[in-house]
Amino acid sequence: MEIKKVGVVGCGAMGSGIAQLCAQSGYQVVVSEINEELLSKGLQSIEKTLARLVEKGKISQQDKDATLSHIKGTTKTKDFSDCDLMIEAAIENLDLKKKLFAELDAVCPKHAILGTNTSCLSIIDMAVATKRPDKVLGLHFFNPAPVMRLLEIVKTITTSDEVVEICQKFGQSLGKTTVIAQDKPGFIVNRVWIPYILHAIRLYEEGVASREDIDNAISLGLNYPMGPLALVDLTGLDVVKFVADALYEQLKDPRYIVPTLVNKMVAAGWLGRKTGKGFYDYK
């Protein structure tokens, strides 16, 4: 099967990035939001991102115009009726995702593949909400989707090998390196990354070292591009807490217990860069 048209559910930070990436790679894209206000905000974000790339000389004005011409925004699920591949990038709520997958299953053509961008939720639970569980899998992009080079493909016990192969080729067409994981909590990246991040936060919470010294030690000592606390601020403390809590709920492994400091910071609204304050102050 050849993928020509891609549908994206959700036009927030992840959805807009995925839509932009697919459009830049030559695919026709339909991206949805729950209302016109959020849809407009997401489409404006794509336009601003492309405008910055033009200003920096990374793409031409013609490239920008071509990319935008490939993207159609909608608030109606029925507009996905001719998509070959769906990528769901809604909020991390399993009940909502199951509802969305049932709706997409009823609207999309029989050959269409249904993917989810979830970072930690059970994909088989979404698959069984459809009549095509063999065509459901995880397509986990990383933020920002147009920049990060990895696509984590997650195979459930019902996903067909053919669908995995099609999505590997799709990922490669986006310029991504693909890895395949089984549908188990955290897949590959978050299963490894979350304990590392939480342990760094505990070092800071215990007063072992300052935030700057922890970040410098890791970035310079291990040649990482960014220190763990700065990376948490970029990702969002609420996101880290959600993923860690979900993994602990499924695995009961104490490595995934969120430090008290994170709970207090989330309660205070100190979520990182997006709120202007996290481990560092961005105001």
Of 32, 70, 117, 152, which residue is the catalytic one?
A: 152
For the question of residue 25 being annotated catalytic, the response is: no
Residue 175 CA to its chain's centroid (Å):
16
Secondary structure class of 106 (helix, strand, coil): helix
Catalytic (active site) residue 152: yes
> Which residue is catalytic, options 16, 32, 45, 119?
119
Which of 40, 140, 223, 263 is an active site residue? 140
Instruction: Report the number of secondary-structure helices (H) and strands (E) in the chain.
Output: 11, 8
What residues have CB less than 8 Å from 36, skipping those under 6 apart?
Answer: 75
Structure tokens at 57: 């000389």
Q: How far apart are CA 29 and CA 43, in angstroms?
A: 12
In the chain the beta strands, taken as DSSP E runs, fall at 5-9, 28-32, 71-74, 85-88, 113-116, 136-141, 150-155, 177-182
Q: Which of 190, 216, 219, 223 is catalytic?
A: 190
What is the distance between the alpha carbons of residues 136 and 126, in angstroms, rounded to a whole number? 8
Residue 119: active-site member: yes
> How distant, in Å, are the alpha carbons of 29, 166, 215, 236 from that of 111?
17, 12, 47, 36
- Write out the catalytic residue numbers: 119, 140, 152, 190
